[in-house]
Structure 1
Amino acid sequence: MWEPWFASAVALLLLGGLALRLASTDLLAISCLTILVVAGNVSGSKLLPTPTEALSGFGNTALITVGLLFAVVAGLEFTGGTQLATGWLLGRARGLIDGQLRLLVPVAALSGFLNNTPLVAALMPAVGDLSKRTGVSSSRFLLPLSYAAILGGMCTLLGTSTNLLVYQEYRAKGGDALSFFSLGWVGVPASLCGLIYILVFTRRLLPERRPAVSTHDDPRQYTVEMTVTADGPLIGRSIEAAGLRHLPGLFLIEIQRRGEVLPAVAPTEKLQSGDLLILVGALESVVDLQKIRGLTPATDQMRKLNSPAWHRQLVETVVSHRCPVVGKTIREGKFRTRYRAAVIAVARGDQRVPGKLGDVVLEAGDVLLLEAPSSFLQEHGNSRDFFLMSKVDGGEVRRFERAWLSLLILLAMVLAAATQTVEVVTAALVAAIAMVGFRCCTMTEARRSIDGSVLLVIGAAIGIGMAMDKSGAAESIAYGLLTLANEHPRATLAILYLTTMLCTELITNNAAALLMFPIAWTSAASLGLDPTPFVVAVMIAASASFATPFGYQTNLMVYGIGGYRMSDYLRFGLPLNAIVFITAMIVIPSVWQFEEVPAAPANTPPAVATE
């Protein structure tokens, strides 16, 4: 039979292509799936999946759940819910160990209930603040942040997309021994040991690196005014505790308080209600400033904009010499009335713009940071009044008043899924709709937050895994593993784990898990044993990507920002791989014992559950 060899060759083509970075991950996965679909269609072989079977993975409820979780985290991000949950803890950090404890423990706990990728993305700006606050390079926080998210994600079925996908396949095969917190038997001790390792060995094994791009390289210096809100969390806190001394490239020039000017403000100065803060800094830091709860732009023009917060965004533009407000102050020129936009900050080369923001006399070439309706670019994009108009990345206006609501929605989703009141996909669906319905994020923001390439890889990998199973390739590989292990259950478990871990480091976690799942199932069936311990090994090993930046998306996210090298991952990640492996090999056989069950037919095609 040629089908097993052909399916194996396509799987190896995917593995090799991903390992060598021949093309983007989603393109390689879709291309390999296409090869299988065309071959099966042309040959008419019954040992290869039909087009309907091969593409059914894109309707898999686990894939849909992953997409919905991106939208849920978008609601947290745009309301400041993540900052509300962690900011109070990070604000008191002192030194490397204290900072890592305050960062990594909450991240490991949260990642058990949230998708890791958007969670790490939401917390990366806080790492810059933490780095400045503690005087420690961000490279000693970013990679540990990624590792903590991976470790915490091992503790529940909802923690990683890998767990959801493998669990869905497990249920489709008839497995019923796993519940929401079952993986915690392995995940919790692995996380504890992993976090202790990170805390002890970061200083020895992870050098300080400089980011590839620094906000200090931005020559533009914006002048921005922020007011301390009357009912905000910053009242009574010092400048340093509020994080205003530690945003990269941003400097607090003075505080205006009840007609009194406080220049050269000491870090210990306590903030009071109504304080007007004058700050100068780079664009990225000014944008981050807008995300701090308890601060609001000082201009009252923003409150007069006839659009709600979720319909506004930050826009950067250059004033043209033809602009009618040139030579006038922002207030005299009636900028808000004329353009339906509020000036948040002004930059004039590398110098500070003196005076209060409303009294700044605009000059041609001034760079303005505006808070404007989403239609502003369309309405004024071709205007002769401005040059080089563009939307600011990450400049969506935060809705801090909905932060608690977004956290309540998240808590309700977790409780519903954990208590099995409803299916995980149902809880995620309701939570995503609630985030949009209660304006924690807009539908556009939710849609943009979804990483389509991740979903494409998942759907294609399900189809390729199905081909491995249906063609008999998985059975042949399983027999090879059993021969290597001399049909010993523990040895088979170890080999299966190490093979999955190696695949994960070279390709991606989801692709590795879906390719190895049929092999794990078939190995258990050939031994006449319950497949649950082998499936759990695949789940844990597929997430245990610490030695390369390519195996897990969060590792790749921090790679450039942290200024890391490949050797950093090998030196710092390989011992963590060993820790998780040893923990899994001790715990898995103890919790899910190798119980004998009647052998099932080895090459039964896996059903793909649909709701």
Structure 2
Amino acid sequence: MSLDAWIAVGVVLTIFPLMAFSRLGPDIILLGAVIGLMTLGVIDPQQALGGFSNSGLFTVAFMYVLVASIRETGGIDLIIRYVLRRPGSERGALVRLLLPVAALSAFVNNTPVVATYIPAVMSWSRRLRLSPQRLLMPLSFASILGGTITLFGTSTNLVVHGLLLERYPALGMGLLDLAWVGVPVAILGLVYLIVLGPRLLPAHEGVANAFANPREFTIEMEVDPAGVLVDRSVEEAGLRHLQALFLVEIERAGNVVSVVGPGEKLKGGDRLVFAGTSDAAVELQQIRGLIPSQDDTPSLEKAFKERRLVEAVVSSQCQFIGQRIRDGHFRTLYGAAVLAICRGGERVKGNLGQVRLQSADVLLLEARPPFIERHRQSRDFLLISELNGAARPVHEKAPLAWGILLGAVLLAALGVISLLNAAMLGAALALLSGCCSVGAAKRGLDTQVLLTIAASFGVGAALQSSGAAEVIGGGLLTLVAGNPLLLLIGTYVVVALLTELVTNNAAAVIVFPVVMSAAESLGVSPMPYVVAVMFAASASFLTPIGYQTNLMVYGPGGYKVSDFLRLGCGLNVLTGAIALVLIPLVWPF
């Protein structure tokens, strides 16, 4: 191999472990790789920036706007309201949950679908007296299975299709072409989840039970009307820097002061709510002017319009990962106070201020009402939902938003216009009709995914232009003895393993040129390998980090990694076997 090829291979071998084990985002790692490759002369500026002009990338971006219009109008809530009623059994509940989710995910990005369903499923499971652990992981897996049915189903399908059009313009696929394999994979995968899910998954209460009793993680005191603390600020009263407690809110005359600042003046009769453990109550009892609260109803169980109790799932990109809550000034940055932390289905005990945050931790937060909308699209949190909040009312424009999406799908499916044009037209109509505001559209764009996709093209171009893809492809042919079917199986297995450790888009885009070079050397059609990359990149069932929706349910469900292996291993084998049997039949070598 040439020096450029060795450099390209070295960069790729560095990228994968970095994405799997470092806290850096995949977009940062891949952009850094592209900058390095361009600086070393392996790729030119046009190749480095080529991903930003790819049709697949823009189709993904416009689809985000269409999905934002569904979310903003309450379109998914509309489906939930009519579907999640009262089933007769646990497997009946799974049928009611999984079938609509898989169908929705075929045309709507599955991340907002799962984000909308999680709080509804948590509430639904309590009413049905079912463990949410039996429902949340199948919810994520069903959304992944549904995404394999159409080109719109996942961003990876659109991106790989964009790569296909660049390399082979005459081999473009129709919107529903994947359904020949995707529908059988989805149906048999859902049957697997419905039949074996209740047997293979544990049944614990998880987050719902951990946050159920506010008395376990809060202490309430009152300001003595005749005491020395009246008219003193929180800072002056010595309540700002307690060792094992922190002041969360003040209940005063039927109202509440949430996220209390150090300058807040105390009044006689104020009811102070502290986050901490009962063991730390001794510290409060030693402060003159504070007396035990006489109210039997915990303040957190009362409804105040000035505050919200919110559950937030920490993402792997949160800037506070590895930091203590107190040291990181969490409350200052987010305007929210941490009341409790749930990890692995159990509430974290001890001094909250000394807890170091981890990815997928579930935080119970006390915040002001604007917090939810302000941070709903923050990369620091995978999911934000109001605790025991009422379902958001269905907006009158929800049917219009669904009509625009279905119209775009129909136009693309019938071949009237291209996928890109259909997504672009749908996004424009969503904005013009008021189904989605410009601000909501901007918030709906997942810039990390878009940058990851664009940068992946630069790395893929380096493998292609340097000749590394051709050499590696030749090595693959030697391993599979020039057998097209063995190459197909090898392609699927490699991409499926990589997507469990790194992002599915990066795995697909970087492996794509290598596999195409191998197929060209064999003199066979590239189509079976293109489709295998699409399906393998979606086969993220083994680990919580393999796919965004897995990480979203990991914390609220109180799962362990072994739970994903127990249910996901069989699903991976089943879906892989079905795909590898059907792909050569639909797209012959």
2:86/2:128 contact within 8 Å kept: no
For residues 64 and 188 of structure 2, what CA distance do their matches in structure 1 show? Answer: 29
Deviation of the 1:210 alpha carbon: 4.2
2:21 is the alignment partner of 1:20: yes
Partner of 2:332: none
**Among residues 175, 178, 186, which one is paired with 1:183 in the alignment?**
178
Letter in 1 for 2:433: F
2:306 is the alignment partner of 1:368: yes
**Among residues 371, 383, 391, which one is paired with 2:370 in the alignment?**
391
For residues 36 and 144 of structure 2, what CA distance do their matches in structure 1 show? Answer: 32
1:112/1:155 contact within 8 Å kept: yes
2:140/2:549 contact within 8 Å kept: yes
2:128 is the alignment partner of 1:134: yes
1:114/1:158 contact within 8 Å kept: yes
Query: What is the SS of the residue equivalent to 1:157?
Result: coil
Distance 1:207 1:388, change over 3 A: closer
Q: Mapping of 1:356-505 within 5 angstroms?
A: 368-369=306-307, 391-394=370-373, 400-505=395-500
Q: Mapping of 1:128-527 within 5 angstroms?
A: 128-174=122-168, 175-176=170-171, 178-212=173-207, 215-216=211-212, 350=299, 368-369=306-307, 391-394=370-373, 400-527=395-522
1:139/1:210 contact within 8 Å kept: yes
For residues 352 and 512 of structure 1, what CA distance do their matches in structure 2 show? Answer: 47
Distance 1:445 1:488, change over 3 A: same
Deviation of the 1:462 alpha carbon: 1.2
1:95/1:136 contact within 8 Å kept: no
For residues 185 and 123 of structure 2, what CA distance do their matches in structure 1 show? Answer: 29
Deviation of the 1:70 alpha carbon: 2.1
Deviations 1:254-306 (A, max 9, x none): xxxxxxxxxxxxxxxxxxxxxxxxxxxxxxxxxxxxxxxxxxxxxxxxxxxxx
Distance 1:211 1:470, change over 3 A: farther
Deviation of the 1:394 alpha carbon: 4.3
Partner of 1:119: 113
For residues 367 and 88 of structure 1, what CA distance do their matches in structure 2 show? Answer: 28
2:59 is the alignment partner of 1:65: yes
Deviations 1:102-147 (A, max 9, x none): 1111111111111122222222222113212321121221111111
Letter in 1 for 2:48: A
1:78/1:399 contact within 8 Å kept: no
1:166/1:514 contact within 8 Å kept: yes
Letter in 2 for 1:216: A
Give the TM-score taking structure 2 as reference length: 0.71
Distance 1:571 1:350, change over 3 A: same
For residues 113 and 507 of structure 2, what CA distance do their matches in structure 1 show? Answer: 22
For residues 166 and 447 of structure 1, what CA distance do their matches in structure 2 show? Answer: 24
Distance 1:219 1:409, change over 3 A: farther
Distance 1:388 1:562, change over 3 A: closer
1:457/1:511 contact within 8 Å kept: yes
Distance 1:218 1:414, change over 3 A: farther
Identity of aligned residues (%): 41
Distance 1:217 1:70, change over 3 A: farther
The unaligned stretches of length 5 or more in structure 1 are: 41-47, 221-314, 327-347, 358-365, 371-380, 382-386, 595-611
Deviation of the 1:178 alpha carbon: 2.5
**Among residues 529, 532, 536, which one is paired with 1:537 in the alignment?**
532
2:165/2:172 contact within 8 Å kept: no
2:105/2:143 contact within 8 Å kept: yes
Deviation of the 1:416 alpha carbon: 1.6
For residues 427 and 178 of structure 1, what CA distance do their matches in structure 2 show? Answer: 14
Deviations 1:459-493 (A, max 9, x none): 11111111111111111111111111100111111
For residues 178 and 351 of structure 1, what CA distance do their matches in structure 2 show? Answer: 54
Partner of 1:588: 583
Distance 1:321 1:350, change over 3 A: same
For residues 544 and 177 of structure 1, what CA distance do their matches in structure 2 show? Answer: 23
1:316/1:391 contact within 8 Å kept: no
For residues 460 and 213 of structure 2, what CA distance do their matches in structure 1 show? Answer: 47
